[in-house]
Structure 1
Amino acid sequence: MVSQALRDLFSRDGDTFQISFLLKEIEDLGAHIVLADGQPVIRGDRSIISPDLLARLKEGRALIIEHLREQAAHSPERAEGIEQERSGIRKDMETGKLHVFGNPSSQWLMAQGWEWDKHRRRFMAPYPFDREDPHPSCMIGGGPKLPDDYPELMFEPQNVQAA
């Protein structure tokens, strides 16, 4: 017969294994989960996460938070990296197209001239600079180009709130 303490210990390790497996599955899809203000947030392409995987993430929400806090406690440099993650717009030097990285606010993107496309369910750069727009070489006359002094990276200003 196994004591209740041992049974709890083994079930706890099983939960940790399941949470690690879920987080690895999310990373394999090209996204990751971070803690933002103590809440788990999915960063990256969320549209490729299946509904059943989302349901499993919601079921294990408390364990995911605990797991991420433990990781941050054991690896302070990783925790600092999460805190300092920046968002913004990146210019692809080869194609001249603009890409969003991180998780910029919708207000900042709209101020940069981006518009929400309800069919694609994402923000799109002004035509013809979105990643799905045709390459300027496919347009008559080569199409418009970004100015030569357009920055390769444009970071969203970080919101620093005084306590």
Structure 2
Amino acid sequence: MYEDNFNPRRMPLFRKGREIYELTVKIADLIPEDDSRLSSNKAFMLEDAALLSVKVAGAEGGDLYDIRMECATLIRKAARDLQNHCNTLTMFGFEHMHYLHLIREALEEYRLLFIAWVRTFDTWNYAVDRWGLFNPPGVQPDDPDPAEGRDGL
């Protein structure tokens, strides 16, 4: 059962996401504003790093399996995109690329926490996803919705 006073900020996954965001801010501050190739990456890096904790809070607040899985998908994409932004900085000759390994290592720690977190999702607490993407195993988009009164949108 979901606790009303549960605070996602206490979760190791959330805290690691915040750590990655703060680290990304510090490294992004080293990107020279006069280099358009590098500076165009900065906003994307910060946005993706922020999503690592924001979407954990959204998943925890939503509680339903389909909402949690949707948030988990966005988290995975943001983490992979952040990794790709680090690769882009390296490719374009970022002067301080020796710091990028810190983001990569933190993302690997985050990935392991993420796997454990997703395993905690309650597959019996769901609304039918009528789009068919985020239903628990064995549930089809046209199945009756156990959460009466919800339309699954």
Task: Return the TM-score normalized by structure 1.
Answer: 0.31
Relative to total residues, which structure has the larger helix share, 1 or 2? 2
Q: Which has the larger radius of gyration?
A: 1
Q: Which has the higher contact order (CA 8 A, sep 6+)?
A: 2
Relative to total residues, which structure has the larger strand share, 1 or 2? 1
